[in-house]
Amino acid sequence: MRGFAALQGAFQNAILTGDDAVLAGLLDGPKEGREALLAVYRHAYSARLVEILASDFPALKAVLGDDGFETAARAYVSAHPSTHRNARWYGRGFADFLARTEPWSDRAEFGELACFETALADAFDAADLGPLTLADLAAVPPEHWGDLIFSVDPSASRLDLATNAIELWSSAAEGADPPLAAPLAATEKLIVWRDGATPMYRAMTDEEAMLWDEAARGSTFGELCVLAATFAAPDEAAGRAAGYLASWIGAGLLAQARPAEVS
Amino acid sequence: MSAPTSAKPPFLGFGLGLRAEHYADILDGDPAIDWFEVISENYMVPGGQPLKMLDRIRERWPVVMHGVSMSIASTAEPDLDYLNGLKALADRVEPRWISDHLCWTGVHGKNLHDLLPIPYTRESLDHVCDRIDLVQNALGRTLTLENVSTYVRFAEADMTEWEFISEMSRRSGCWLLFDVNNVYVSSFNHGYDPLEFLNGIPQDRVVQFHMAGHEHLGTHIIDTHDREVCADVWELYRHALKRFGPVSTIIERDADIPPLAEIMVEVEETRRIAAEVLPPESLARAAA
């Protein structure tokens, strides 16, 4: 087994690092030398991973252009050999890579656009759970609503965007020329999720985003109402919180509700 | 440990590798497709649209699961999470059989997402047979393994690919997926007669054929699955039918995927050639 294992290590090394040591154990083909034949595997490795990224990040590719995307993708491939059996998960670190690696980190829209496309992909095949319905909620006596805590839908991701990444994505999705990237005057609070089979997104107000984040952390509905009262018009806080809750349920953003455990 | 053995899978007819691009045309229409092969990893996801589509397909057609990352020949520790995920999908899909490739995809915690070649040696044969036993016991069913296209050969090999595959199937009990295009590609790349390969495979172990296109670069051929099946591979398919009889067949296309109507021409061609080559009673008997 040691010989076979060593051979596999050398072969993988040849592909990942360009080390030619494995060539000594290979034969020339009838019409092509062993170097050129080994190069088939070397080329296929990076080409396949770049292709996977291109498929997962079509809007980013449109914004960066074919050559710009290829450069960014190859840099990611070099820095991050895949550790996943399933290629579906290979691009999960791409947004983070762009956000912290020069020169892409100098342009926040690249990382944010990749982050948004990752959220859409995650929403697409997230676990099926729920959704929570208004009928489920109606079955809970009103006096117990304050103790309810919610499970957000597994497809939901909350993003804070400092650039017009969504505008860039929209123009790419329509096949239009992308607008100039620009910072936003105020951070855009966004929610991405799947409604039925379709990934969706919409903006949230600062108050709604704050309450959503708290709900996702396991705060009770009563605590959300208190929090809303600190944000604006305390007398109307419970009504506003109930309004958000109804809209989340209507959109399929919540999976379950259950009473908080009494300690 | 002895591997689970199961009866030889049935002849399913003439099918197609399921691709998302064709979901709507397949489900809204009534294409003359007898069965589908699905890429297991495409459905090893938490939920959502892919699994819903697969549920709808399997309501109407027989389905076979075909994986690309079992890495059966890898010397890395077995990935039990992967096998558990594969088994969970199989429990949901109830495929007619589960296949993957005779290859490895990575070691040392990395995955190269490619079907990498192995040296055909006693040492690698022992290793692969041990892994097949492990996988068959984990899945509770007999595995089917496919010959891959290869571009390099190892100096240390002490047997041919067909000798290796035949012995692997005999020892482990695994069934064989005979990829006609891969035999053609590897035979050109390594300078042997594809019929020698074909005639070296036991007649009773093959349960499926793959047909696909490739890119011929003059000095070597790349297995691309991005175009139609070429005349030489159709000719090899005829020989395969004559040797192995009625075998469940699919057309594979993984890049530059054409509309369903276009790819159906090739599905029909697999059916037409089988009807031409095989006695009618053998196809009818196999389909019964």
Are A36 and B123 inside 8 Å of each other by CB? Answer: no
Collapse the DSSP code of A223 into the 3-class scheme (helix H, G, I; strand E, B; otherwise coil) and give the result: helix
Cα B229 to Cα B210: distance, rounded to the nearest angstrom: 11
Q: Find how far residue B228's CA is from the centre of its chain.
A: 18
Both structure tokens of B5: 């053995």
Averaged pLDDT for residues B148-169: 97
Interface residue A139 vs chain B (CB under 8 A): no
Are A86 and B44 inside 8 Å of each other by CB? Answer: yes
Averaged pLDDT for residues B101-120: 97
Are B156 and A3 inside 8 Å of each other by CB? Answer: yes
Cα A40 to Cα A34: distance, rounded to the nearest angstrom: 10
The b/e string for A172-208 (b: 16+ C-beta within 10 A; e otherwise) is beeeeebeebeeeeeebbbbbbbeeeebbbeebeebb
pLDDT of residue A262: 60
Pairing of strands B221-222, B36-39: unpaired
pTM of the shown model: 0.93
Please check whether residue A227 is in contact with residue A214, taking contact to mean a CB–CB distance below 8 angstroms.
Answer: yes
Averaged pLDDT for residues B211-233: 96
pLDDT of residue A142: 86
Q: Is B5 contained in some domain?
A: no
Interface residue B45 vs chain A (CB under 8 A): yes
User: What are the pLDDT digits (tens) for B161-220?
Assistant: 999 999 999 999 999 999 999 999 999 999 999 999 999 999 999 999 999 999 999 999
Its sign, for the CA torsion A114, A117, A119, A125, is negative
Its sign, for the CA torsion B56, B61, B62, B65, is negative
Cα A231 to Cα A216: distance, rounded to the nearest angstrom: 18
Q: Is B240 contained in some domain?
A: yes
Sheet holding A157-163, edge to edge: A157-163, A183-195, A198-204
Give the count of beta carbons closer than 10 Å to the beta carbon of residue A247. 13
Chain A: residue whose CA lies nearest to B106: A12
Q: Is B170 contained in some domain?
A: yes
The b/e string for B165-199 (b: 16+ C-beta within 10 A; e otherwise) is bbbbbebbbbbbbbbbbbbbbbbbbbebebeebbe
Its sign, for the CA torsion A232, A238, A239, A243, is positive
Quick one: pLDDT band at residue B235, thresholds 50, 70, 90?
A: very high
Cα B252 to Cα A172: distance, rounded to the nearest angstrom: 31
Q: For position B280, which CATH number holds? A: 3.20.20.150
| All CATH 3.90.930.50 domain ranges in chain A, comma separated | 127-263
Please check whether residue B202 is in contact with residue B247, taking contact to mean a CB–CB distance below 8 angstroms.
Answer: no
Give contacts of B156 with chain A, Cβ < 8 Å: 3, 7, 25
Nearest to B165 by CA among B191, B183, B146, B152: B146
Size (chain B), residues:
288
Q: Which CATH number fits domain A127-263: 3.40.50.2000, 3.90.930.50, 3.90.1570.10, 2.102.10.10?
A: 3.90.930.50
CA distance A83 to chain B (A): 4
pLDDT of residue A2: 61
- With tokens 């999960």, the residue in question is A92
Q: The domain containing residue B118 runs over which residues?
A: 14-287
> How many contacts does A have with B, using Cβ atoms within 8 A?
146
Please check whether residue B113 is in contact with residue A87, taking contact to mean a CB–CB distance below 8 angstroms.
Answer: yes
A:102-121 residues touching chain B, CB 8 A cutoff: none
Interface residue B41 vs chain A (CB under 8 A): yes
Of B49, B106, B110, the CB nearest to A197: B49
CA distances from B50 to A201, B44, B119, B197, B254 (A): 20, 9, 37, 37, 17
Cα A115 to Cα A138: distance, rounded to the nearest angstrom: 36
Q: What is the number of domains present in chain B? A: 1
Q: What angle do CA A150, A248, A111 make, to 5 degrees?
A: 95
Q: Which residues of chain A have pLDDT under 70?
A: 1-2, 262-263
CA distances from B5 to B101, B148, B281 (A): 19, 24, 28
pLDDT of residue B288: 67
Model confidence at B95: pLDDT above 90:
yes
Model confidence at B7: pLDDT above 90:
no
pLDDT of residue B280: 86
Averaged pLDDT for residues B77-104: 97
Are A34 and B152 inside 8 Å of each other by CB? Answer: yes
pLDDT of residue B65: 98
Both structure tokens of B52: 């819903």
A:167-196 residues touching chain B, CB 8 A cutoff: 194
Averaged pLDDT for residues B233-246: 98
User: What are the pLDDT digits (tens) for B26-67?
Assistant: 999 999 999 999 999 999 999 999 999 999 999 999 999 999
Which one-letter amino acid corresponds to residue A152? V
Of B52, B110, B191, the CB nearest to A12: B110
Q: Where would I find the H helices in B115-259?
A: 122-139, 161-172, 180-190, 194-199, 231-244
